[in-house]
Amino acid sequence: MVGQGRTGVSEHFDAVIVGSGFGGSVMAYRLAEAGKHVCVLERGKAYPPGSFPRTPDKMGKNFFHPLGGCPMASSPQYGVVDAFGEVFGHPGLYIADGSVMPGPVGPNPSLTIAALADRFADRILGA
């Protein structure tokens, strides 16, 4: 992959990671640690006044764990990615975030998401 750096000089990357959340950050760390040239694109998020709840009854609308959307499955008939996060029919395109989890795991999900990204990195690195 090729990108245009701040200097205007073309840069080559082994991987481009969109989002530096629980999944993306682990994937970026693992690939960079292995010597890969990694580009992380993070858009960030603005939190204007009023973004956070101030009363207990409003907490319920802010604390949630959305998962799924691109579920892991045994075939494209049932999901979007395989057991290693690679999108069916798109070799080299991986999803490493909570969207690959087919459903709730019970406890808070962030460590499971991080563990999945770690597993997917093993596959990419051939470990």
Ligand X SMILES: Cc1cc2nc3c(=O)[nH]c(=O)nc-3n(C[C@H](O)[C@H](O)[C@H](O)COP(=O)(O)OP(=O)(O)OC[C@H]3O[C@@H](n4cnc5c(N)ncnc54)[C@H](O)[C@@H]3O)c2cc1C
In the complex, which residues of this chain contact ligand X (CB under 6 A)? 18-24, 41-45, 62-63, 65, 97-98, 108-110, 113
**Residue with smaller CB distance to ligand X, 18 or 125:** 18
Q: Phi-psi category of 32—alpha, beta or left, where left has phi over 0 and alpha has psi -120 to 50?
A: alpha
CB of 24 to ligand X, least distance (A): 6
CB of 126 to ligand X, least distance (A): 23
Contacts of 114 (CB under 8 A, 6+ apart): 22, 23, 26
The two structure tokens encoding residue 40: 């992380």
CB of 14 to ligand X, least distance (A): 19
